[in-house]
């Protein structure tokens, strides 16, 4: 922490407090599902350390957007096509959290509509960076929150030299009618991702498609091996109680709450675990139990 300049003169910096403390500093993320600008279907105020906020925000968004399933022709194989490219959404969330103005009391605001998502964060572009610069593939990054950006760079959540907008453009290329707009408004930065027609097939010719209103069970093709004892115990506990919390798991298997979160994030990354619904009202879904896969295939 000292080497990263997150502790100076034996005192945590503001960046350290934002990154690691659970205390509420009124830098929240306000997320909601809207039918129209004045018709709110669902509304959440997310609070906590910045690392947790990234994951809880993504869980909420994924729980609200639609998924199309394309049948590949084999009985048990189907490919999921999210309403929006998930890597692009994560990049937009990361940008809002890393680059917001933490001197402002205004919350990050994410609004999910039927065919578009808007993300507003307080704080205009920093330094000499302009809207026109962001439209190119050679802009130079600037950040007002260097210590926060460095922390997320070390966890491999962001690129240090600011290629986020380039990667977003690449991700949405496979979504034919999707548009990506951004502008400075008032004292902040507003991004919009939307489309005219939802993408439901990766093929030139559709086979079978089905659109559902929320994330459902995934079909995972690969077998994941070499899970740790703690990860296997987490899977077993979730099988018994899909509503179990990370704190409850930590108490049962006698490891820290953060360690449980880290293991659960790895399980999600490996395609074994999925969060359905909101952080508080949702539940965990075991997509495919690697232990059962191994025994079945024998």
| pLDDT on residue 278 | 67
| Mean pLDDT, residues 32-61 taken together | 91
Q: Determine if the pTM surpasses 0.85.
A: no
| pLDDT on residue 286 | 84
Average of per-residue pLDDT values in the chain: 81
Least confident piece of the model among 98-102, 156-160, 202-206, 294-298: 294-298
pLDDT exceeds 50 at position 212: no
| pLDDT on residue 76 | 55
pLDDT exceeds 70 at position 200: yes
| Mean pLDDT, residues 287-292 taken together | 56
**Banded model confidence at residue 56, pLDDT cuts 50, 70, 90:** very high
Here the tokens at position 241 are 């109680």
pLDDT exceeds 60 at position 138: yes
pLDDT exceeds 80 at position 242: yes
Least confident piece of the model among 136-140, 187-191, 232-236, 237-241: 136-140
pLDDT exceeds 50 at position 117: yes
Check residues 78 and 255 and name the one with the higher pLDDT.
255
- Tell me the fold of 229-297: Arc Repressor Mutant, subunit A (1.10.10)
- Tell me the fold of 7-212: Heat Shock Protein 90 (3.30.565)
pLDDT tens-digit readout, 71-103: 766 545 677 889 999 999 999 999 999 999 999
Least confident piece of the model among 120-124, 130-134, 175-179, 279-283: 279-283
| Mean pLDDT, residues 124-129 taken together | 87
pLDDT exceeds 70 at position 7: yes
| Mean pLDDT, residues 142-160 taken together | 84
Helix H, strand E, coil C: the string for the chain is CCCCCCEECCEECHHHHHHHCCCCCCCCEEEEEEEECCEEEEEEEECCCHHHHHHHHHHHHHHHCCEEEEECCCCCCEEEEECCCHHHHHHHHHHHHHHCCCCCCCCEEEEECCCEEEEEEECCCCCCCCHHHHCCCCCCCCCCCHHHHHHHHHCCCCCCCCCHHHHHHHHHHHCCCEEEEEEEECCEEEEEEEECCCCCCCCCCCCCEEEECCCCCCCCCCCCCCCCHHHHHHHHHHHHCCCCCHHHHHHHHCCCHHHHHHHHHHHHHCCCEEEECCCCCCEEEECCCHHHHHHHHC
| Mean pLDDT, residues 207-232 taken together | 49
Annotated domain spans of the chain: 7-212, 229-297
**Banded model confidence at residue 111, pLDDT cuts 50, 70, 90:** very high
Check residues 250 and 204 and name the one with the higher pLDDT.
250
pLDDT exceeds 70 at position 248: yes
């Amino acid at each position: 922490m000292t080497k990263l300049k997150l502790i100076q003169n034996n005192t945590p910096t503001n960046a350290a407090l934002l990154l690691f403390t659970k205390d509420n500093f009124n830098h929240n993320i306000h997320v909601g599902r809207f039918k129209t600008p004045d018709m709110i279907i669902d509304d959440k105020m997310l609070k906590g350390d910045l690392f947790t906020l990234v994951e809880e925000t993504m869980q909420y968004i994924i729980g609200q957007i639609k998924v199309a399933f394309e049948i590949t022709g084999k009985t048990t194989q189907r490919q999921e096509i999210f309403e929006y490219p998930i890597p692009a959404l994560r990049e937009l969330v990361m940008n809002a959290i890393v680059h917001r103005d933490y001197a402002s009391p205004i919350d990050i605001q994410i609004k999910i509509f039927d065919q578009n998502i808007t993300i507003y964060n307080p704080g205009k572009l920093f330094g000499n960076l302009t809207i026109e610069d962001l439209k190119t593939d050679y802009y130079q990054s600037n950040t007002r929150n260097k210590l926060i950006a460095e922390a997320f760079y070390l966890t491999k959540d962001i690129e240090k030299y600011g290629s986020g907008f380039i990667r977003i453009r690449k991700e949405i290329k496979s979504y034919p009618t999707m548009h990506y707009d951004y502008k400075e408004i008032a004292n902040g930065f507003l991004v919009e991702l939307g489309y005219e027609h939802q993408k439901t097939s990766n093929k030139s010719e559709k086979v079978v498609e089905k659109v559902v209103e929320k994330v459902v069970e995934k079909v995972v093709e690969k077998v994941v091996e070499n899970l740790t004892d703690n990860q296997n115990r987490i899977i077993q506990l979730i099988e018994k109680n899909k509503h179990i919390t990370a704190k409850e798991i930590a108490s049962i298997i006698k490891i820290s709450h953060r360690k449980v979160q880290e293991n659960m994030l790895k399980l999600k990354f490996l395609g074994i675990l999925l969060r359905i619904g909101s952080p508080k009202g949702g539940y965990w879904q075991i997509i495919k139990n690697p232990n059962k896969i191994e025994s079945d295939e024998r």
